Amino acid sequence: MVKKIKLAYGKTEFSLALEPERLLAVLLPGELPSPQDEAALVRKAMANPVGTPRLQEIVRDGETACIIVGDMTRLWVRHHVLLPLILDELNRGGIADENITLVSATGAHREQTKEEHLQLIGAEAYRRVRVVDHKCRDEDLVDYGPTTYGTPVRINRHVANADRVILTGGIVYHFLAGYGGGKKALMPGVADYAGIMANHRLALNPDGPGLNRDVCAGKMTGNPLSDDMLQAVEKVGIDFIVNTIINDEHQIALAVAGDVVEAHEAGCSLVDKYFGVPIKEQADLVIASCGGYPKDINFYQTYKTTHNMVPALKKGGVGILLSESCEGVGNDLFYTICTDHSDNVAREDALRSDFEIASFMGYTQLLWAQQNRFIAVTGMPHQQVRNMGMTPATSLEEALSIAKSLLSEDYTAYIMPEGSTTFPILQP
């Protein structure tokens, strides 16, 4: 019996009916908890830290503290819930509000307005303590020397001068560092521009063209970019972290606290539990929806889904990507890395001389499209889609027709209705 599967597309949906003998599985993430009291959940995590004593037992009366928070691109972490709890814990340990500074880990991003700070950290934290933006090109950074990879470690002076340093963040799969959260708040969060670029360039193959295969989502051990970040953390010294995992209702579903390595690894295991989906084999065809609006608001956001499709797809297979992209590409650099250079050698030369995350994302997506055959169901202009190495289609029916013309009659398939949050893990 053919079962119809709904696949979100913008604010509408497509209905997919695929022969059962072709379908290996419908891949879906686990359902995260929806706690009634986010603060109580975080408070419990802080009272039961992983790998360290409680924060109030680590700090000493009269010390200074620096809490590193995200910037507006990390608004989803819900710092406004975390910060009053962290401040109260520091107070109980003897550190007064006037001796605490919040540093917004802007990385290489722009500075923020007062209104954005209020939105990011909440009115209570804004009233209680000083908040400053990190400036990655500032001359007044503290030099800790290079990592073994040659990455210069120059860190925000507010962080370097504090007696105690606390990191906050959200844990998700990350295509460079393996997982978000943890050490990423420091490097690249409050590092200098040269260090950020040197760290990110480790994503490129050091021995020739192409990407570094060890730099990928779900991998920290043996990942040089992740290890480089960890070396920066070890040089600076981090006392405590508080990290969250967010559900689809934009609530804190899970939280971990404690040691910068051990607590983070505990959080990464939770991400694997809920978002990692084990598979025994790759398929000839992968059909994925980003999950609808706003997850497919533009093609830049669609990268998360493309990234997650690749582990489930046989090399040279066919991927059908559903992304309405009502706001177009969404990032100029993501697109122009494809159009402004004649070939991949020129694209890599550009990245090695001036690494930009958006350009790297556009380039890696182009590589996947070149190595496989991607069909994009989207409202974007067809020529733009072709310029990114994909075949455009205006409906799922049209995309399936194209796909079947490229596949053998006995093809196998996976369906990913929530492609942006489903990470297939191929079992050995």
Beta bridge partners of 231: none
CB 129 within 8 A of CB 100: yes
Res. 396 pLDDT band, cuts 50 70 90: very high
pLDDT above 80: residue 73: no
Q: For residue 141, how far is the Cα from the chain centroid? A: 26
CB 93 within 8 A of CB 164: no
Q: What is the mean pLDDT of residues 35-62?
A: 96
Q: What is the mean pLDDT of residues 133-145?
A: 89
CB 285 within 8 A of CB 320: yes
pLDDT above 70: residue 1: no
Using omega within 30 degrees of 0 as the cis cutoff, is the peptide bond preceding 84 cis? no
The pLDDT value recorded for residue 71 is: 76
112/147: higher pLDDT? 147
The pLDDT value recorded for residue 2 is: 61
Question: Would strands 4-9 and 12-17 be described as parallel, antiparallel, or unpaired?
Answer: antiparallel
Res. 111 pLDDT band, cuts 50 70 90: confident
pLDDT above 60: residue 279: yes
The pLDDT value recorded for residue 404 is: 94
pLDDT above 60: residue 106: yes
H or E element, residue 338: helix 332-339
Residues 6 or more apart whose Cβ sits within 8 Å of residue 15: 4, 5, 6, 7
The pLDDT value recorded for residue 75 is: 65
The answer to whether the 4-30+280-426 and 38-273 domains have the same CATH topology is no
The pLDDT value recorded for residue 72 is: 67
* Rounded distance between C-alpha atoms, residue 229 and residue 236, angstroms: 11
pLDDT in tens, 292-324: 998 898 998 899 999 999 999 999 999 999 999
Residues 6 or more apart whose Cβ sits within 8 Å of residue 346: none
pLDDT above 90: residue 117: no
Would you state the CATH architecture of domain 4-30+280-426?
A: Alpha-Beta Complex (3.90)
From residue 281, give the alpha-carbon distance in Å to each of 304, 316, 406, 412, 427: 21, 15, 20, 10, 8
Find the angle CA(134)-CA(140)-CA(142) to the nearest 5 degrees: 90
* Local structure of residue 233 (DSSP, 8 states): H
Domain map (residue ranges) of the chain:
4-30+280-426, 38-273
pLDDT in tens, 184-217: 999 999 999 999 999 999 999 988 888 999 999 9
| C-alpha R_g of the chain | 22
* Rounded distance between C-alpha atoms, residue 402 and residue 390, angstroms: 12
Q: Helix H segments across 100-201?
A: 114-121, 123-128, 157-161, 193-201
The pLDDT value recorded for residue 139 is: 82
Q: What sign results for the dihedral spanned by CA atoms 238, 240, 246, 250?
A: negative
pLDDT in tens, 375-384: 999 999 999 9
Q: Helix H segments across 210-319?
A: 224-236, 262-275, 299-309
pLDDT in tens, 44-53: 999 999 999 9
Q: What percent of the chain has pLDDT over 90?
A: 79
pLDDT above 80: residue 3: no
* Rounded distance between C-alpha atoms, residue 190 and residue 154, angstroms: 8
* Fold observed for domain 38-273: Rossmann fold (3.40.50)
The pLDDT value recorded for residue 173 is: 92
Q: What sign results for the dihedral spanned by CA atoms 379, 384, 386, 389?
A: negative
pLDDT above 90: residue 335: yes
pLDDT in tens, 336-355: 999 999 999 999 999 988 88
- Average pLDDT score, the chain: 93
* Rounded distance between C-alpha atoms, residue 205 and residue 215, angstroms: 9
